[in-house]
Structure 1
Amino acid sequence: MRKVVLLLFISLQSLIFAQSAEKSIILLDADTNLPIEDVTVYIIKTKQTLLSNVEGKVTFTLSGTSNIQATHSSYVSVTVRSTALLKTDNIIYLKNNTKDLDEIIITKQHPQKILKSIVDNSIKKLTVPARLKVYSREFFKLNGTYSYYNDGLLNFQLYGKDKNFKSNILVEQNRSMGLINEEISGDVLGYNLNNIMENYYNFKYLNPILEPKAKKEYDFLIKVYTANKNYYAITASPLENSKGLLDDFTIIYDPTKKLIVEINSAISPMTLARNKDKKSIGSRNVYKSFFKTIYRIDSENYYLVSSKEEIGFERVDKNNKTTDIEVRNYFVTTNFSNQNYTYKESEVFKDKTLFNKKDVVLTDYWNVSGLTATEEELEIINKIE
């Protein structure tokens, strides 16, 4: 009898294992056959969110069957059934709907005023309280060589409302690799975790173009593509006579719901070209800066899906020496819930970064993180390790 039960147990375990298979999807442009980065892939059954990497790839494990949604602001959304994913690597082609010439929308109100109202409405509509399970990843390059890496799986409990958002953080797992030069402090290592969610939920990164003086520094336009009128785009580009190191902004939003779905900003090549280097000790001469956030709108909830930031600068040191520093950060919300979690105050993470936190590795969480590492990134991580 025991043998029969044991065989039945083994057979059942084998069946479950067989049904839980790792799958990969590669998102390609239907016209160019090129990979599409930053496609949000949503597994409806598990409510897991994934983001395609620069190779257009996402990887996940699924038990049973589910519909899978692939969305991108520049492409027609696609929903596929998991049973259609017959291979280990499955290619899905997306149709670009922003190839046509964009139309400029003429409005009675100044585009900046329209943007302000969209920001205010977006802040009000964000789902709070909420719990975001987030995968965070950071690459650090010192004088042209990757020398430090960390990643972690974090829970953000969001509370508060309307420009007074707060968050508590519980770190589930984390790891760090490599050594940092003694002259490099943790302050340059990208994210300040203590206020990062508050900044994203208050759209703080749009402040430079929301100030009154921005009308004199930026050219604002509202655009729409003829093949994709589900989204409008507000662009803000520095004027030729503007001063300082200013960014080019593109804010994509739903004109019906008046909610922001994507923010892109990058340092303007024009302002970078005419910017004079600072020479005082401790100054930072920025030569690269990029920022992108994506928000998800579904029937009931509105929340942050991902963020990506890159910055490169030369720091002026003593004796006419400089230190070249580059930081690349990723944030992906792998799971969202509007249910609070319970925790002790002593468990709340209060440091700014994961830089000094002791490693806690319970599983290979980075392989089910929602952001698949590219071959180049894996090579960097293995080299640092």
Structure 2
Amino acid sequence: MKTFLILCLLFLSMSSFAAPRVVNGIIKDATTMLPIESVSIRVQNSNLGTISNSEGEFRLVFSDDLNTIQFSHLNYHVYAYALKTGETEVEIFLEPKSFQLSEVVIRSKPVKELLSDAVKSSKEKLEKSIVLNTYYREFVRINETYSSFSDGLLDYNIKRKSGASDLYVNQSRAFKLTDTPSDEREKNRGAFYLYDVRDAVEQAYNFKHVNRILNSKSYDFEIETKTDDKGNSLEIVSILPKEGLELPLYIGTVVFDAKTKLILEIDVKISPKHKIYAFDVDIAFLRFKMYEDSRKASYRIDGEKYILVYNQNKLNAYVNFKGKFDDTFEFMSDMVVSDYKEGEFDFDRSKRHKERSLFSAGNHFTEEYWKTKNIILLTEEEQKVIDTLNK
């Protein structure tokens, strides 16, 4: 009997360390057969998830006792796929939603107020007292040449409604163009970052960029209601610069659920017509001119929970830091929430990441997490960039 119990315990112990299941796949439109970007992908009965890249590709790593993957996108029907035994490669086809023609709706509030209400509802509903396990990456180009890349597995410990959080880097890697001179000028360029990795979640949580647009008098707002064949309605607010203004203004859309008033997607960038009026500052020691600024974020309603899924920033700016450098910088960052844990957790705050860039964390990893974890898969073009930097 004793031997039997020992064998049972040994079996359970071995089972707990069983290799995770890895599934690679591509997602396509069932009608056009074209790949679909930014599909939210999650493993049912867990908090694990990722998104598809611009080529529709994805990878999921999860416990072998789970077998159903759910795919969701605003323009497609939610689809749950039950994996077959031993299946590791899948091709998923999503059916486009057929939306009813928009009807003229008499609204009790101006569109600007409706969007403000959605922002307020979303800020209040976003999960607080939560740790977001994320995959984060950043590309940097200087004078149209890729100069560095870094990525890693990051934990954001959120404790306040604003989304302010402590950042902990679990694993990371960093590549830099090897033929870049290591003089003082290059050090100054390398230290210059316009985005702060520590604020990546806070930016998505506080909707500050959308609020700045709402607080401006330089925009018009239009709204369209789209209802699918199951009766679910989306409100799509278009942000439009007013005519005749010579200012660096933005254009884009904010989509929110008509029933819950929770924001599902934000896609905002500098209006092509207003790039000639780009934000331009010229003071004693610095000239800064911004050419591109785009921000994307997506969120998911998961039962009673409202969760951040993805956040992306892109910025292109000319910077003349007198006596230091005179260059055009392009920053691109992506963050995807791969898992989350609710509640209060104790972290060693002395180990917080304290730099603006993830690149400063260097190469610190215990496994090839870019092959074994839920990340945003690199496209073929992006992989070529990293190969060049890693030579």
- Aligned-residue offset at 1:317: 6.2
Cα pair distance change 1:170/1:238, threshold 3 Å: same
The question of whether the paired residues in 2 share the 8 Å contact of 1:51 and 1:332 is answered with: yes
The question of whether the paired residues in 2 share the 8 Å contact of 1:285 and 1:315 is answered with: yes
Give 1:241's aligned residue: 244
Give 1:266's aligned residue: 269
The AA in structure 2 aligned to 1:329 is: S
Provide the aligned length of Structure 1 versus Structure 2: 367
- Aligned-residue offset at 1:37: 0.7
The AA in structure 1 aligned to 2:388 is: K
Cα pair distance change 1:91/1:110, threshold 3 Å: same
Is 2:308 the partner of 1:300?
A: no
Give 1:186's aligned residue: 191
Matched-pair identity in %: 28
The AA in structure 2 aligned to 1:60 is: L
Secondary structure of the equivalent of 1:184?
A: helix
Is 2:377 the partner of 1:372?
A: yes
Q: Distance in 1 between matches of 2:140 and 2:133?
A: 23
- Aligned-residue offset at 1:318: 6.1
The aligned runs of 1:211-226 (5 Å cut-off) are 211=215, 213-214=216-217, 217-226=218-227
- Aligned-residue offset at 1:106: 4.0
The question of whether the paired residues in 1 share the 8 Å contact of 2:299 and 2:309 is answered with: yes
The question of whether the paired residues in 2 share the 8 Å contact of 1:126 and 1:201 is answered with: yes
Secondary structure of the equivalent of 2:197?
A: coil
Q: Distance in 1 between matches of 2:116 and 2:335?
A: 25
- Aligned-residue offset at 1:168: 1.5
Deviates more, 1:278-287 or 1:57-66: 278-287
Give 1:196's aligned residue: 200
Q: Distance in 2 between matches of 1:78 and 1:186?
A: 44
- Aligned-residue offset at 1:357: 2.4
Structure 2 length-normalised TM: 0.85
- Aligned-residue offset at 1:193: 3.0
Q: Distance in 1 between matches of 2:317 and 2:98?
A: 33
The question of whether the paired residues in 2 share the 8 Å contact of 1:58 and 1:371 is answered with: yes
- Aligned-residue offset at 1:235: 1.1
Give the one of 371, 384, 389 matched to 1:384. Answer: 389
The question of whether the paired residues in 2 share the 8 Å contact of 1:45 and 1:66 is answered with: no
Secondary structure of the equivalent of 1:283?
A: strand
- Aligned-residue offset at 1:134: 1.0
The AA in structure 2 aligned to 1:225 is: K
Q: Distance in 2 between matches of 1:331 and 1:91?
A: 24
The aligned runs of 1:276-355 (5 Å cut-off) are 282-316=286-320, 323-355=327-359
Give 2:256's aligned residue: 253
The question of whether the paired residues in 2 share the 8 Å contact of 1:314 and 1:323 is answered with: yes
Give the one of 180, 203, 206 matched to 2:210. Answer: 206
Structure 1 length-normalised TM: 0.86
The AA in structure 1 aligned to 2:342 is: N
- Aligned-residue offset at 1:358: 4.0
Cα pair distance change 1:247/1:37, threshold 3 Å: same
Cα pair distance change 1:103/1:359, threshold 3 Å: farther
- Aligned-residue offset at 1:275: 5.1
Q: Distance in 1 between matches of 2:110 and 2:134?
A: 37
- Aligned-residue offset at 1:257: 0.8
Deviates more, 1:193-202 or 1:37-46: 193-202
Secondary structure of the equivalent of 1:245?
A: coil
Secondary structure of the equivalent of 2:361?
A: coil
Secondary structure of the equivalent of 1:361?
A: coil
Gap regions ≥5 residues in structure 2? 1-6, 181-185
The AA in structure 2 aligned to 1:125 is: K
The aligned runs of 1:11-22 (5 Å cut-off) are 20-22=20-22
Secondary structure of the equivalent of 2:189?
A: coil
The question of whether the paired residues in 1 share the 8 Å contact of 2:299 and 2:306 is answered with: yes
Give 1:34's aligned residue: 34
- Aligned-residue offset at 1:16: 5.0
Q: Distance in 1 between matches of 2:102 and 2:248?
A: 27
- Aligned-residue offset at 1:364: 1.2
Gap regions ≥5 residues in structure 1? none
The question of whether the paired residues in 2 share the 8 Å contact of 1:104 and 1:222 is answered with: no
Q: Distance in 2 between matches of 1:208 and 1:339?
A: 31
Q: Distance in 2 between matches of 1:98 and 1:290?
A: 29
Quote the RMSD (CA, aligned, Å): 2.9
